[in-house]
Amino acid sequence: MLTAEEALDRLKNGNERFVNGQTKHLTLLTHQQRAELADSQEPFAIVLGCSDSRVPAEMVFDQGLGDLFVIRVAGNIVAPSQVGSVEFAADSFGCPVVVVLGHTHCGAIHSTIEALMNPTSPPSANLMSIVNRVRPSVEILMQTELKDDLEKLSVHAVRSNVFASVNQLRHGSAVLENLIAQGKLKVVGAEYSLETGEVTFYDF
């Protein structure tokens, strides 16, 4: 069983391969390996990431089938179903680390900024449920000078939103709090750059 630090190193090394065009896992999968994974799985890390089609966690971290337990939702938000999914993976598979993975130019962030700036033209009720999860991370920034520079506001909001999700996972579940207290689980934040492919980790 890997420690949280070892799991993070594995992710960082995989991302370095991805950035440098030296990926290996996608070409190593065999029919035998796929069959072996049919009955069980042993992912070494949990990734709560955004649904954006440009940020597939397995590719970004150059990991193979069965390596990551990935939860994807627009805006990498934390709602009860996401918490339950993290609880399941942490408890069932002993994953030592959860990475909340945000990314540059996030559509959910942009939608939230637009909704706050144009309250008379709200998005659909379903999209609004996502916006409302992101809203606190953006509202606090719009009370600063960032409100006058939408590009900088978006950049800071991505990180603020990642921090909010990390905080919710750390303190919004008795199951996860207990695992963290026992030193069995670590929750960290990270940001993927669409421009470079690089993942920057934040241990808030």
* CA separation for the pair 184, 33 (Å, rounded): 28
The answer as to CATH 3.40.1050.10 being correct for domain 4-202 is yes
- Which amino acid does the sequence have at 144? T
Distance of alpha carbon 95 from the chain centroid:
15
Question: Is 156 one of the annotated binding-site residues?
Answer: no
- Which amino acid does the sequence have at 42? E
Closest to 62 in 3D by CA, of 155, 197, 202, 203: 197
Question: Is 103 one of the annotated binding-site residues?
Answer: yes
Q: What is the pLDDT of residue 97?
A: 98
Question: Is 50 one of the annotated binding-site residues?
Answer: yes
Burial label, 118 (beta-carbon count in 10 A; 0-12, 13-18, 19+): exposed
Q: What is the pLDDT of residue 30?
A: 63
| Three-state DSSP class for residue 72 | strand
Average pLDDT for runs of 10 along the chain of length 204: 95 97 72 78 96 97 94 97 98 97 97 93 92 96 92 96 98 97 97 98 84
Q: What is the pLDDT of residue 203?
A: 77
The edge-to-edge listing of strands for the beta sheet with 199-202 is 68-72, 45-49, 97-103, 186-192, 199-202
Whether the predicted model's global pTM rises above the 0.85 cut: yes
Tell me the backbone φ, ψ of residue 188, rounded to 5 degrees.
-130, 160
Question: Is 95 one of the annotated binding-site residues?
Answer: no
Strand partners, 47: 70, 99
Q: What is the pLDDT of residue 26?
A: 59
Q: How far apart, in Å, do the first and last CA atoms of the chain sit? A: 25
How many residues are there in the chain?
204
Strand 186-192, strand 199-202: pairing: antiparallel
